[in-house]
Amino acid sequence: MGGHCACADSRARVYKGGYQQHYCDPTAAPACAANSSLTYCLEDAEYPAYEIKAAISQDHLFAKKYADIGTQSADDLVDGLSAEQESAFDYGYYTGSSKGDSPYDVTHWAGPAGYICPSDVAYAQPRRAQNVAGEWRVIVNDVHYYTQTARLETCLHPDAACRALAPCYKSKCTQKYIYHRMLSYDPCDPYKGLFIDIYRLPAACSCHVPAL
């Protein structure tokens, strides 16, 4: 019921007596991550909701493992900025061309309100993600009203100069990450049940100015 192991490198092992057991490679990217360089999926057509519901009902310690604040926004997590202001940021005009042959075009110096390093911000509930060991896990999300929310901020132009700073500063936009602990499920070993795993997710796009 959608809970099969979505592994691109599945193969079979043959044991004595002719018994076959399909091998699931936990490091193989699932279908939701195909053609993507991201280490997480916000949408997952093969999300094993039935298996997650069953694991929750069988886990007597679930209430002690689970915690989340589902309604997150800039109102709570960004000082001096409202959710309405942050969601209105539009970097469609910006080229990030400080890295090119004709650096510091007009979009570097002018534009509407926004962060000095243009970024995409999402208050998201990942369905799958690659843990710090490089193995893909299913994350408990939107099942029986249980969610796990994370603020994801990704640089739109990594290594481009920070907006409005003069070339002499040699600035650049740098991607930052944070480790998130999330209640998870291993599709390659469902008998583990639900457990806490650790994921490295994009957290901020910061302006870095080297020593002059």
pLDDT at 130 (0 to 100): 98
Average pLDDT over residues 96-107: 72
pLDDT at 70 (0 to 100): 86
CA distance 198 to 70: 19
CA distance 12 to 54: 27
Average model confidence (pLDDT) across the chain: 88
Residue 168 has pLDDT above 80, yes or no: yes
* Structural domains of the chain, ranges and CATH numbers in brackets: 31-208 (2.10.90.10)
